[in-house]
Chains A and B, each alone.
Chain A
C-alpha cells in the first residue's frame, strides 16, 4: 500500500465517535479512517460517546433513504484487528439503550474508565 509507513512507530490511537449516523457524514467517514488506519498497525481503540452510541444500534436499514448502510462495517472491524470498542455507559443509558441494542461486542465503561482511556491515548481523532 502506497501510504504505508515503514517507521515502525506504534502509537495509541483513539477514535472518538460522538455523532449520530446518517444525519451527517461524520460517523461514516470516521469509519473510513479507521479502516485505512488499520493498515498502519497502530494500537487502535474506538470510543463511542454521546450520540456516537447510536452508530452501533442494531438493525439499521438505509434502503429507503438511499445512503450506504455502513453500520454493517462495525461488525467487520475485527477482521482488521480493530477489536477495542468502548461505549460510554452514561451516553448509552441516557439514550434508553442497553448493550443488547448494539450490533457488535463492545466494552461498556463508566466515566472514570472513559477518562482513563482518553488520557492514556497518544493521538486522538475527532470528526
Chain B
C-alpha cells in the first residue's frame, strides 16, 4: 500500500515528527511503501543538516535522511514554509543570494502541489501535527 505522510511540526518541540518517523518505519517493515513525506509549517525544520543534538538524544533530521536513503523515500519541505523559516537548499541559496544552504541529505524543497499529489496518488494520507 502507498502511504503519504504529512508532518506539521518541527523536531524536538512536539512528538509529531517522532510519531511520523516510527509510523513510517513500521509501515516499511510491514511491506508498504512511503510515497512521500511532506513537511509543512514548522515541520520544515526537520530538514536542517545543522542540527547537533546531544549524543544521548536521537538525531531527528539524520534519522529521516537515513530512512530515505535506505528506502528511497521522497522527503519534501514546503518551499513557502521553508523560505520563511530559513531552510535553504543549494538552488534557493543561489536564487536568494544567501551565503549558505542548510538542507539535510535526501530532503528537497518543493511546492504545496507535492502535498496535493500525495493526497491523490497515495492510498492513505496520514497527518502528524499539533
What sequence of 0s and 1s flags, for each residue 109-120 of chain B, a beta carbon within 8 Å of any chain A beta carbon?
011111111011
Among listed B25-33, B65-73, B121-129, interface-contacting one: B121-129
Among listed A7-15, A47-55, A112-120, interface-contacting one: A7-15
Q: Quick check: A3 and B129 within 8 Å, CB to CB?
A: no
Chain A residues with Cβ below 8 Å from B115 are: 33
Restricting to B1-56, which residues have a CB under 8 Å from any CB of A? 6, 8, 40-41
| Minimal Cβ-Cβ distance residue in A for B4 | A123
| Minimal Cβ-Cβ distance residue in B for A35 | B112
Please, how many angstroms separate the alpha-carbon atoms of A5 and B114 in the complex?
10
| Minimal Cβ-Cβ distance residue in B for A123 | B119
Determine which of A25, A40, A124 lies in contact with B116 in the assembled complex, contact meaning CB atoms within 8 Å: A40
Count of chain A residues near B, Cβ 8 A:
24
Count of chain B residues near A, Cβ 8 A:
20
Q: Quick check: B113 and A7 within 8 Å, CB to CB?
A: no
- How many residue pairs bridge A and B at CB < 8 Å? 62
Q: Is B75 in the interface zone, CB < 8 Å from A?
A: no
Q: Quick check: A36 and B81 within 8 Å, CB to CB?
A: no
Restricting to B80-130, which residues have a CB under 8 Å from any CB of A? 80-81, 110-117, 119-121, 125, 127, 129
Chain A proximity of B121: nearest CB distance (Å): 7
Please, how many angstroms separate the alpha-carbon atoms of A7 and B6 in the complex?
22
Q: Quick check: A36 and B125 within 8 Å, CB to CB?
A: no
Q: Quick check: A1 and B127 within 8 Å, CB to CB?
A: no
Determine which of A13, A29, A124 lies in contact with B81 in the assembled complex, contact meaning CB atoms within 8 Å: A29
Chain B residues with Cβ below 8 Å from A5 are: 117, 120
Please, how many angstroms separate the alpha-carbon atoms of A57 and B120 in the complex?
31
- Cβ-closest 3 pairs across A and B: A3-B113, A36-B112, A123-B119
26 contacts between A and B (CB under 8 A): A3-B111, A3-B112, A3-B113, A3-B114, A3-B116, A5-B117, A5-B120, A7-B120, A7-B121, A9-B121, A11-B119, A13-B119, A29-B41, A32-B112, A36-B111, A36-B116, A42-B120, A123-B119, A123-B120, A123-B125, A124-B125, A125-B6, A125-B125, A125-B127, A126-B127, A127-B129
